[in-house]
A and B are shown apart, each in its own frame.
Chain A
Amino acid sequence: MNVELIYSVATLGLIGSVSAVILYFVAQKFKVIEDPRIDQVQEVLPSANCGGCGFAGCRAFAEALVMQGGEKGNLDGLKCPVGGNDVMAQVAGILGLTVEQQDPVIAVVRCNGSFANSPKKVIFEGATSCVFAHNLFAGEGGCPYGCLGLGDCVKVCNFDAIDIDKATGLPVVNEKCVACGACVTACPRKIIELRPKGKKDRRIFVSCVNQEKGGPAKKNCAVACIGCGKCVKVCAFDAITLLNNLAYIDPLKCRLCRKCAPECPTGAIHELNFPQKKETLATEINKTGSRNEALTEKVSEPAMTPDSKSGNNNGGISNET
């Protein structure tokens, strides 16, 4: 063994140990004293970092839970939509607090202006962006409130839970939806709403957000809500309100009695995942003659068909980065 080797080993060893000592002191000095529960809470959060809670990622939410929860003494108003009640219960356990149970919710697309129901009046060419199209014009179907079908909602969904159905041009939400609400914010027309999932996934809602008067609304779309108020009258639970020519069903008041849907002259009220009502369906079709097929389809089969993932509708212009 020669001397050089010994020297080099010794120098390196020395440098190493000096650095270690320095590092140790630095680490001590700059140590951030953090509530260890933040880590514990983060542990149970789903790590989806979707922002559905309103915070910038799961870590930020964990901090908020520990801080705000500590201040307020409860966790009201803080919720992880992805984890749902289970996760929130675990968080509450860690923090020794209570949490209110909330009904699980899901994204609901409130527009049925498919190609068949609201035929194209013009052709759009340009950037594949609902926001851009919204600023440019009323929409191919002519409805200034309806879905533009360019998929801003699809683009923001981190869970592959919403996709444009090529046949109708409308987005369809599937069961992967965790109700993060990203699509709700992305949609320039505020078409998507988070509504309680409902018992056995059964939901009743007005699938229209058009606030025009009956005439103009109907002119653009066969299944628009025309604001006639028939559903309001028939509802025994005061769940339906009519504002700006548009009916809205309050999901918290609605008891899923299904009285309203057959009343609607345009079929704007959708019932999801109910067993088929044989006679009603038949009479209904007779009553309105050429009533669109889309509605009967919706009534008879669940709209959340997982196989409706038919690729991205890129409407002409691809949106590569």
Chain B
Amino acid sequence: MNLLTVSGSPHVFNDTSVSKIMWGVVIAMIPATLVSFWYFGLGGIIITLSAVIFCVLIEYLVQRYLLKEAPSVKDGSAVITGILLAFNVPSNLPVWELLIGCIVAIAIAKMSFGGLGKNPFNPALIGRVFMLISFPVDMTSWPLPVTNRMVLTDAVTGPTTLGILKEGLANGETVSQISSQLPAYQQMFMGDIGGSLGEVSALALIIGGLFMLYKKIITWHIPVSFMLSVFMFSGILYLTDPEHYIDPVFHLLAGGLMLGAIFMATDMVTSPMTYKGMIIFGTGCGILTVLIRVFGAYPEGVSFAILIMNACVPLINRGFKPKRFGEVVKNG
């Protein structure tokens, strides 16, 4: 006989699911991936593919043989980590170094905390920072966009825009002297510059971001507050001394800022849960990024900024509660 089911209300559910969200993010990353293939050719393809394969495989193996639970790689979150990791490395990175990055990202930063949903830090960022510290040279020699896309030549490497700037400023040059060496903003916007795979084209990243907004995967709060605070903070600095601090538009377009603001800071698991909290989080990321870029030792500060703010998320969640309905406003 056909038994009736009994359960508590509600009895209908909407059709989102974790895997739909995760695959949605993957789709949103496609434009940026294609752009990176265009500029970096075969090297880019190899790095992206191997990062994704490594991440998925590692997650599968860890779940299957170490944790002895049903593998959940189908939900797509490992794919995201893989692509993000690939976005964050130069296209000529040795594959074995990438493998180590993937292991750190998935096995240590994600699975050891209990898997998707329980990791306090963005796994891809942990992997990236780990590689950055372990292989500083390989991780910071950025190939310039290649001319022949089908061969794996020794790409011409050069510093990133931010690297040029930092170096120049360190050598006592002024911004106007350096800016002749910097690519034009238009170039930066389209991605025709040296850098890691994904941080190159702001346009492609924005397209992906709009897609995620449309699909309600992310809200505007984090990216907008992140970029706005970068813009304002660097703008204030610029106004105080334009010869020493470069203008805010440069900060917005350079480095992994768009990538960080759109894809990495918005990771659901490691960002706050209320709108208020998200804005605080985004603003914090922005200010930290500029601080590190301008005053820190590294030319690029997005990863560190996001990781530091990740650590603050539990606090932010505790401090910024949603407004309760019918809460009696306390006077005084």
Residues of A within 8 A of B (CB): 120-127, 132, 136-137, 140
Q: Which residues of B contact A132 (CB under 8 A)?
A: 8
Inter-chain CA distance A278–B176, complex, in Å, is 105
B residues 1-34 near A (Cβ < 8 Å) are: 3-8
What's the minimum C-beta distance from B133 to chain A, rounded to whole angstroms? 33
- CB of A286, distance to nearest CB on chain B (Å): 30
- Cβ-closest chain B residue relative to A135: B8
| Complex Cα spacing A124 to B3, Å | 10
User: Does the CB pair B3–A122 fall under 8 Å?
Assistant: yes
> Which B residues are CB-close (under 8 A) to A127?
8
Give 13 new A-B contacts, CB below 8 A, not counting A120-B3, A122-B3.
A122-B5, A122-B6, A123-B3, A123-B4, A123-B6, A124-B6, A124-B7, A125-B6, A125-B7, A126-B7, A132-B8, A136-B7, A137-B6
Q: Are B4 and A126 in contact (CB under 8 A)?
A: no
Name 25 interchain pairs, CB-CB below 8 A, sorted by A: A120-B3, A121-B3, A122-B3, A122-B4, A122-B5, A122-B6, A123-B3, A123-B4, A123-B5, A123-B6, A124-B5, A124-B6, A124-B7, A125-B5, A125-B6, A125-B7, A126-B7, A126-B8, A127-B8, A132-B8, A136-B6, A136-B7, A136-B8, A137-B6, A140-B6
CA distance A127 to B5 in the complex (A): 14
Docked CA distance A122–B7 (Å): 10
**Distance from B40 Cβ to chain A, minimum over Cβ atoms (Å):** 42
Rounded to whole angstroms, the CA-CA distance of A125 and B9 in the bound complex is 11
- The number of chain B residues with a CB under 8 A from chain A is 6
Give the chain B neighbours of A126 by CB distance below 8 A: 7-8
Q: B3 contacts which chain A residues (CB < 8 A)? A: 120-123
**Cα A136 to Cα B4 with chains together (Å):** 15
How many residue pairs at the A-B interface have CB separations less than 8 Å? 25
Give 10 nearest A-B pairs by CB, closest first.
A125-B7, A126-B7, A122-B6, A123-B5, A122-B4, A123-B3, A137-B6, A126-B8, A124-B6, A136-B8
A126–B3 Cα gap in the complex (Å)?
16
- Chain B positions within 8 Å of A120 at CB level: 3
In the complex, what residue of chain B is closest to A138 when comparing beta carbons? B6
| Min distance, Cβ B327 to any Cβ of chain A, angstroms | 28
A122: chain B residues at CB < 8 Å are: 3-6
Closest Cβ of chain A to B119, distance in Å, is 15
Measured CB to CB, the closest approach of chain B to A296, in angstroms, equals: 27
Residues of A within 8 A of B6 (CB): 122-125, 136-137, 140
Tell me the bound Cα distance from A125 to B4 in angstroms: 11
Task: Report the Cα distance A120→B5, complex, angstroms.
Answer: 11
Nearest-CB residue, chain A, relative to B3: A123
User: Which A residue's beta carbon lies closest to that of B118?
Assistant: A320
Distance in angstroms from B42 CB to nearest chain A CB is 44
* Residues of chain A with a CB closer than 8 A to B7's CB: 124-126, 136
Interchain nearest-CB distance for A246 vs B (Å): 26
Q: Which residues of A contact B8 (CB under 8 A)?
A: 126-127, 132, 136
CA distance A274 to B190 in the complex (A): 86
Expressed in whole angstroms, the Cα–Cα distance for A171 and B267 within the complex equals: 43
Instruction: State in angstroms the CA–CA spacing of A135 and B202 once bound together.
Output: 55
User: Distance in Å from the Cβ of A279 to the closest Cβ of chain B?
Assistant: 39
Q: Mark B133-169, 1 if CB is under 8 A from A, else 0.
A: 0000000000000000000000000000000000000
Residues on B with beta carbons closer than 8 Å to the beta carbon of A136: 6-8
Distance in Å: Cβ of B36 to nearest Cβ of chain A: 38
Quick one: closest A residue to B5, CB to CB? A123
Residues of A within 8 A of B5 (CB): 122-125
Min CB gap B113→A, angstroms: 13
* Centre residue among B4, B5, B7 by max chain A CB count within 10 A: B7
The answer for the CA separation of A110 and B7 in the assembled complex, in Å, is 26
- Chain B hits for A125, CB < 8 A: 5-7
Q: In whole angstroms, how far apart are the Cα atoms of A124 and B6 in the complex?
A: 5
Q: Taking the nearest CB of chain B, how far is it from the CB of A126, in angstroms?
A: 4
CB distance from B115 to the nearest CB of A (A): 11
How many angstroms from the CA of A140 to the CA of B3 in the assembled complex? Answer: 10
Measured CB to CB, the closest approach of chain B to A310, in angstroms, equals 17
User: In the complex, A138 Cα to B4 Cα: how many Å?
Assistant: 14
User: Which B residues lie within 8 Å of A121 (CB)?
Assistant: 3
* Cα–Cα, bound, A47→B4 (Å): 47
CB 8 Å contact bits of B19-61 with A (1 = contact, 0 = none): 0000000000000000000000000000000000000000000
When C-beta atoms are compared, the residue in chain A nearest to B114 turns out to be A320
Instruction: Give bound CA distance, A120 to B4, whole Å.
Output: 10
B 297-332 to A, binary, CB cutoff 8 A, 1 in contact else 0: 000000000000000000000000000000000000
| Complex CA distance for A97 and B178, rounded to whole angstroms | 92
Residue of B nearest to A136 (CB): B8
Residue of B nearest to A126 (CB): B7
Per the bound structure, the CA–CA distance linking A125 and B5 in Å amounts to 7
What is the chain A residue whose CB lies nearest that of B1? A121
In B149-197, which residues have CB < 8 Å from any A CB?
Answer: none
CA–CA, A94 and B5, complex, Å: 59
In angstroms, how far is the closest chain A Cβ from the Cβ of B116?
A: 13
Given the complex of chains A and B, what is the CA–CA distance between A122 and B2 in angstroms? 9
Return A229 CB to nearest CB of chain B, in Å: 34
Q: How far is the CA of A137 from the CA of B7 in the complex (A)?
A: 9
